[in-house]
Chain A
Amino acid sequence: MKISENINESGSTVDMLINMGPQHPSTHGVFRLVLQLDGELIVDAEPHIGYLHRGSEKLCETESYSQVVTLFDRLDYVANLNSELAYCMAVEKLLELQIPDRAWYIRTILCELNRISSHMLFYGVYGLDVGAMTPVLYGFRERERIQSLFEQVTGARMMHNYIRIGGVKEDTPPEFNENLHAVVLELEKAIEECDELLTQNEAFLARTKNISCLTIEDAIDFGVTGPILRSTGLVEDVRISEPYGIYDRFDFGIPIGSTGDCWDRYYIRMQEMRESLSIIKQAIKQMEPGEVQAKMRRIVRPPKGECFVRTESPRGDLGVFLVSDGSQNPYRVKVRAPSFANLQAIKHMLEGVYVADAVVILGSLDIVLGEVDR
């Protein structure tokens, strides 16, 4: 790999191939990007994934239905509860189960909290990507609060295994409401603080405004979902296009961008955190005591059949395709991972931008490699 290879005999320059990853501080895990550079400009980019392919889908076929939840925890390891929810909803759809109200309220509150914690991670790591080192510490401070609340409810900081088929594992502890109130109040303040720290910073605006503007048509064609799709200006959210759970009982907003650039993607996530907080506040008011687990047999045996369920995870449209052959184990589980589809579009987004922008664009996609590679 001599550099002189890059200069041919006539003295003119040729493009340089540069290998970002699998170990690179800003690839958010083990993702490899081969960039073809003309000076600082990217001519072509080739993403390579699979450095975290653990064969989860195949392993799901060997576990019983209730054990699969643990594997789903580890798919999207930033928003664990949202992935658990998608799987449990798929099994419940096959079983045609009615889930008690209180279970749905607990699920909704925890999933929205997890959405906030996921976006807080994005906020911090995005700060690192554009070169600011402080936001990540503020983002993780809030994550820590949410994680300790999760720990009180579910018993684990990250891999909860709390949302079960037919409801949730157990009712919330008695001090939950009080702690939740405290956390919501703190989060409200913290979101404003984070907003002030980064959003209007001159250098941040210069780095993110008008970078990688994605059109609606391209975004849809690539199967891009979630905040990135909404940043292009399409009114779309699985919670409104295919409402599930009890989301129809809440009055909340969907932030929609207009340009589809990196700043819009960033700020949509900031606004989503505020909307999630409003959902949580409404849910606290509406929640009433009651059962948290549907009446069902201990050993789950859904009837023969198949179903597809879409949910809105923090990264976009998380779908689960479940095929049952009537036995104790699922016959086939296919995860339609939002990051997987979002990452496809990166080749298109990276054409003709600067190397430094590649980092910013990749950061704005907010991928989780566990979900991309499965």
Chain B
Amino acid sequence: MSQNELLALLPLILVVGLAMAVVIIDIVLPDRDDLISAIASGGLIVTLIVIAVCGPLPGGVGLLPREGVQLFVDSSGSGVIVRDQLTAFLDLTFVVIALLSLLFAVDYLKPRGLPMAEFTATLLFAISGAMVLGSGRDLLILFLGLELLVLPGYMLAGYAKRDGLSTEGAIKYFLLGSFSSAIFLFGLALVLGFTGSTRVAAIADVLAGVAAGNAPLSLGLAMGLALLTTGVAFKIAAVPFHYWTPDAYQGSPTPVTGYLSVGPKIAAFALILRLFVDALAPLKADWLPFVIVLAATTMTLGNLVAVTQDNIKRMLAYSSIAHTGYMLVGLAAYAGAAAGSPAEAQGLEALLFYGAIYSFMNLGAFACVAALQRRPGVTSQIASFAGLGRRAPLLGVAMTLFMLSLTGIPPTAGFFAKALVIIAAVNTGGWVAFLAVLMMLNAAAAAFYYLRVVVYMYMREAPDGARPVSIGNFTRAGLIVSAALTVVIGVVPPVTTAVIDMAREAARALL
């Protein structure tokens, strides 16, 4: 194994190693939650640095060559695992997600007597699955990555095993998730059967021939596409495959909900990038209509139902559905653009940027809920936020910030995310431009429920006997990090540009 190949695998190895280390430490030194948290956070920070050092990142940053490294290259010159700028970008996102989820979980799990080590290990395994998804260029690898991602997810959802809601959410998530995995797998099988390869590059070559030949799509391929579409639509929680989301989100322990709302979602988008954009790109004209319809229904239904929610976790669940819709607009912008046009890259760039921004602002929002619920017994009703601006100023400001960013009000990061998606959509034109308009109308409707939280925090008085909220140190650190990211990416131009550049280069790496 060459040095470059080793470097390419290093981040994944680190995360998996860290997970195992946590398991071992827990056996050797049981019940040392703080130690575990510290080691895990430290390890993740190291991983972040390693990813940055390995690269490749825009501007030639990183030890690895700009064009990336392929591993297990076959005769056609395409690898099974790849570390290019897209991988680096996604890995950064995933590790940040893991780190933040970890920080937010510590102060929540402890008062409930939930073991930290198991949580940490499970989370890290899930993240490693996500990282596999981000780097796989082989159907089998992608399938393994997906399972590695979702199986720990089921466990995390049911993590509070004595809590009826948690287990109920978990079983719903598990049953439906497995169902969709089976559907996805069948689609995968059909595609690999009818293209004759598991390699993404090879499949793309075959399909390019199909697309160029103007021959009708074979029944097998069409069914394969249908099954794959359904499978990934479930994973990203697109309407009408979203049913599991509200229940699973509501039931899970809040930090887990935070993780579920971003980790599997972004990872599933990574899967989409590797599968649909990489392998199925030649057929994009065929799947574009479905993306458009899914995007439209997803954001609209997500927002409409979120408007009516009184439970903040359910509200954020529907909101996350809506955000899936927005990200799908980016995908549609890619798919709607002529092959090779700059609009293609624009769409993916927007999707990636949106995903990254969405991860920490949404995690931040859940973290605020978690921080509020640090003391067991605090419900997830929006009313429990009443007067929070006064009871816990930091929490109030941070939550306001996340809500504004989720709404897309400048100069927060969330605004730039939306703006990029719209640029891409308008760029592509046609029905996708219509999606941009629909997206903005949705954003306006969404403002209602996001701002409602602000209303409760600042414009309503706390109920009598409301106790002051104390925020743990880990949570505080995590909140500051995510809030700072939300603000800094918005208002510090070089940072904005840098993140956009990363997304752009990542998108280009794919095309």
Indicate whether A and B interact. no
